[in-house]
Amino acid sequence: MQDKLPANDPPETKVPDSEVNVTQPVAPAAKPPVEPVEPSTELPTVEVKVPEQEPLPTEVPNETSTQQWRQVADRISGFIDSPPSYLTEFFDKYKQPLISVSLILLVFISIKLLSGLLDAINEIPLIAPTFELIGLGYAGWFVYRYLLGAKNREELSELVKAVREYIFGKENVK
């Protein structure tokens, strides 16, 4: 059979089973026994050498640096003293848009807070059904009081006109 093998392949060699044993675990090397050490009463000492540093300069600042600091301080104090004039000019120039934007933001924040408050109240057991019953009762009373009789409807119409005149003035009410 070895005659038929190609020339490029090396011939197979067999290793006897006694030389290779893959399944047997290797035992760890034995550790030498540890001998107890008696504590010594002496503390170790360590010497540390710190190189001497140059002392920090204690020169008095020269006159030009002091003047520069004074100029900077004067500019800052001038800016701090005059913001009211900057702010009043800005507010006078953009008074109406600032008021409009601030009112819109205030309404938005108020709606968010009111919505959160109503959601919190609605989560309390028995409060939501109680408020619904109160609302139905008030709606029933309103229909009975103002809408059933012709005389009561006229009274309601006069009350609505009086409120409109109070809010808008007599000239603006038709």
The predicted-structure confidence for 86-113, as pLDDT tens digits, reads as follows 778 888 899 999 999 999 999 999 999 9
Q: Which residues of 94-124 are buried (b: 16+ CB within 10 A; e: fewer)?
A: eeeeeeeeeeeeeeeeeeeeeeeeeeeeeee
155: its two tokens: 């009274």
- Top mean-pLDDT range of 10-14, 30-34, 128-132: 128-132
Question: Rounded to whole angstroms, how far apart are CA atoms 126 and 104?
Answer: 35
Q: Return d(Cα 142, Cα 148) in angstroms, integer.
A: 9
Start-to-end CA distance of the chain, whole Å, equals 124
* Per-residue pLDDT band at 75 (split at 50, 70, 90): confident
Secondary structure of residue 110 in the 3-state scheme: helix
What residue segments make up the domains of the chain, in order of their start?
Answer: 74-123, 125-174
Instruction: Name the pTM for this structure.
Output: 0.36
Instruction: Give the mean model confidence (pLDDT) for residues 128-143.
Output: 94
